[in-house]
Amino acid sequence: MAENNLLYLSQADVVAAGISMAEIIDALEVAFRAKGEGRTEMPPKPGVHPGGGNNFIHAMPAYIPDLKSAGVKWVSGFPENYKQGLPYISGLLIYNDIATGLPLAVMDCVWITAKRTGAASAVAARRLARPESSVMGMLGCGVQGRSHAEAFQVLFPLQKIMAYDKDPAAAQRYAEEVGKNLGIEIVPVKTPREAVSGCDIVVTAGPILKVPHATIQAGWLDEEPSPRWWTTIPSGAGTPWHRPPSSAPTTCLS
């Protein structure tokens, strides 16, 4: 009888695998193309919502023959976790053998979720944003703010990021850490409007909320010196946006 060895990968193990953002973007290109051409199985994700509010725990199964991959992610998002010093996102990913169905690995999904989300936005922006886009507005300076900056730098000649967070200290840390890691100028700003006006690409990287707070108002992206065409990336279901974001030409992704 064949032996089935189950591999467990902690978050540190996943990070130590050394997969680059460019490699993740390439893998998502394959996955999205396969999805669009009907070569995947990815049923709607079921979920539960312990405690109500904006809490969620979702199961996200998928089979992608083009990548010889099958598995499920069991992931939670609890927006109030920061009050206990805990992360917003946590969970596990189970990877299965597509020939036998046996589980091959169980791994932490936090790093994977962060990188995949930023990479997915970048894949879309590659087709919808101007290739010379160099100024990004970032609303939300946490994990997703970092992964999106990393992903977009792979595909665009980023020179500056206007960074806003409701916690000014978080925006300052973001400026210091991301600026050092990516070698680009990060400008912490005091208001959402400052993070939006005059940017080529705007990313909102906050938690998923049932009731949108609509912080970003119509017309903000039209203000001078805003370019004639910009791209908005509402990661997290687009909750910070007042719809429509503007009357000017734009691309809005979720």
Catalytic residue among 35, 73, 166, 210, which? 73
Query: What is the DSSP-derived secondary structure letter of residue 65?
Result: G
Distance of CA 207 to the CA centre of its chain: 11
Query: What type of residue is 20?
Result: S
**Residue 71 CB: number of other CB atoms within 10 A?**
20
How many residues make up the chain in this entry?
Answer: 254
| Residues whose CB is less than 8 angstroms from the CB of residue 112 and which lie 6 or more positions away in sequence, other chains included | 14, 73, 93
Cα dihedral angle (21, 22, 24, 27), rounded to 10 degrees? 180
| Cα 13 to Cα 24, 102, 105, 168, distances in angstroms | 17, 21, 12, 32
Cis peptide before 65 (omega within 30 of 0): no
Give yes or no: 83 in active site.
Answer: no
CA distance 130 to 93: 35
The residue assigned the tokens 């400008």 is: 187
DSSP assignment of 81-116 equals GGGGT--SEEEEEEEE-TTT--EEEEEE-HHHHHHH
Q: C-alpha distances in angstroms, 46 versus 50, 93, 233, 252? A: 14, 15, 25, 26
Q: Could you give the residue numbers annotated as active site? A: 73
